[in-house]
Amino acid sequence: MQMDPSNGTQGTIAVLRNFLMNRYNPQVQLLDLQNLYGDQYLLSNGLLSQDSTRSKMFPAMMKVASMDLKNVESVNLAGNNISDLTPVTTLAATFPHLKNLSLANNEISQWRHLDAWRHKFRELRELVLTGNPITGLNNYRAEILRRFPMLKMLDGQVIEGINVPEFKIRGSSPSVNSNIKKLPVSTKAGFFETPEIQSIVMDFLGKFFQVYDSDRSQLMPLYDNLSLFSLSLNTGVPRDLTARDNQGIQNWSSYIPISRNLTRVTTNNTRQNRLALGQEQISQLLHKIPPSKHDLSAPEKFAIEAWTARGLRAPDDAGIILIVHGEFEEPPQQPGRANAPSLKRSFDRTMLLLPVQATGAVLVVSDLLTVRGWAGSRAWTPR
């Protein structure tokens, strides 16, 4: 029976509901959505007659599916002329526990075309991409696993392990690393993708920490009005510290009011207020953090990782992700206790840096500082 969508929303919902029921196989929990835009039922009911209705059709279909189909484990999106996931991105929200997905015989040709579903579908076990140009790209299997780390089958082939020379790890998740059979690896104190990145980073950090410890107002040229900075406090202390290492009760009173630890700070308003945006807010927040002293004469106290990051401000940007683990001393702040010993703190700092080629300067796009109880450097001491 033909239904006219001009009858309103209810008419459209009825068409989509009927379509979904005809395309769903409850025995195998499969929703077959292949060749949607050539489907005669949808065409005859006017849902594909105009570009405006075509673009709205799939999100509307997913809305109806979320109400009517509760046990979908597999979806077939083959043959839909998909070049990127924008038109069908709502599938991830509708069926987050999907086990099997086919995108065969589409037009997906670049890795970024899949990134809308990166870290979605955390239970996905099988993915089919045969018939897409992307299958011919270098490191095909490894790049797919970076986006869907729990996969067991790709294009009908069981994934038993990744060829290590083919797989270049840069911050991959543990679930991806578990697929690599050449383990274990030795503990190392750092990683630099290239000697050039190492040179930029080491020069930057040497100057940054000296100024950070002496006069933080002088750091402001490193940030601009779009830069972000926040501090997160982690009050936990590693359980393996010896009694000699234990510094007793830690005083965190200066950090708690400015901490943006999202496991503790749960209201949106407070989270927003504790995220510093732009030079003025960053300067104010930096000056609320207690004084510090980083011992740069002891490199063994620090572990540094740095690699390329693209698209920090513009698609063609070539920036750097910088992660520093280390420790610092916090001088006593209470009057009359100038001779008291300094507190030792550990920290993790993640920064997104954008070198400015014209001037040789470095712009800090994002700066996340985590301060925690002192833990020493045993975690990255080579062994």
Q: What is the pLDDT at residue 43?
A: 85
Q: What is the pLDDT at residue 105?
A: 92
Q: Is the pLDDT assigned to residue 238 strictly greater than 90?
A: no
Q: Which residue has the higher pLDDT, 8 or 333?
A: 333
Q: What is the pLDDT at residue 306?
A: 93
Q: In sequence order, what are the residues at sequence separation of 6 or more whose Cβ sits closer than 8 angstroms to the Cβ of residue 377? A: 300, 301, 302, 303, 326, 327
Contact assessment for residue 322 and residue 350, using Cβ atoms and an 8 Å cutoff:
yes
Q: Which residue has the higher pLDDT, 8 or 275?
A: 275
Q: What is the pLDDT at residue 57?
A: 83
Report yes or no on whether pTM surpasses 0.75.
Answer: no
Q: Is the pLDDT assigned to residue 376 strictly greater than 50?
A: yes
- Position of tokens 């030792």? 344
What digits encode the pLDDT tens for the residues 13-59? 888 889 988 889 888 889 999 888 888 888 888 777 666 667 788 88
Q: Exposure of 172 by Cβ count < 10 A (0-12 exposed, 13-18 middle, 19+ buried)? A: middle
What digits encode the pLDDT tens for the residues 133-157? 999 998 888 888 888 888 888 888 8
* Range scoring the smallest mean pLDDT among 81-85, 164-168, 314-318: 164-168
Q: In sequence order, what are the residues at sequence separation of 6 or more whose Cβ sits closer than 8 angstroms to the Cβ of residue 318? A: 308, 310, 355
What digits encode the pLDDT tens for the residues 31-41? 999 888 888 88
Write the DSSP symbol of residue 290: P
Write the DSSP symbol of residue 72: -
Long-range contacts of 173-177, Cβ-Cβ distance < 8 Å, separation of 24 or more: 173/149, 175/149, 175/150, 176/145, 176/146, 176/149
Q: What is the pLDDT at residue 32?
A: 92
Contact assessment for residue 53 and residue 77, using Cβ atoms and an 8 Å cutoff:
no
DSSP secondary structure letters along 140-208? HHHHHHHHSTT-SEETTEE-----GGG---SS--HHHHTT--S------SEEESSHHHHHHHHHHHHHH
Tell me the pLDDT of the chain averaged across its residues: 83
Q: What is the pLDDT at residue 186?
A: 64
Q: What is the pLDDT at residue 1?
A: 36
Q: Is the pLDDT assigned to residue 164 strictly greater than 70?
A: no
Strands (E), 13-89: 24-25, 30-32, 74-76
Residue among 370, 213, 232 at smallest CA distance from 290: 213
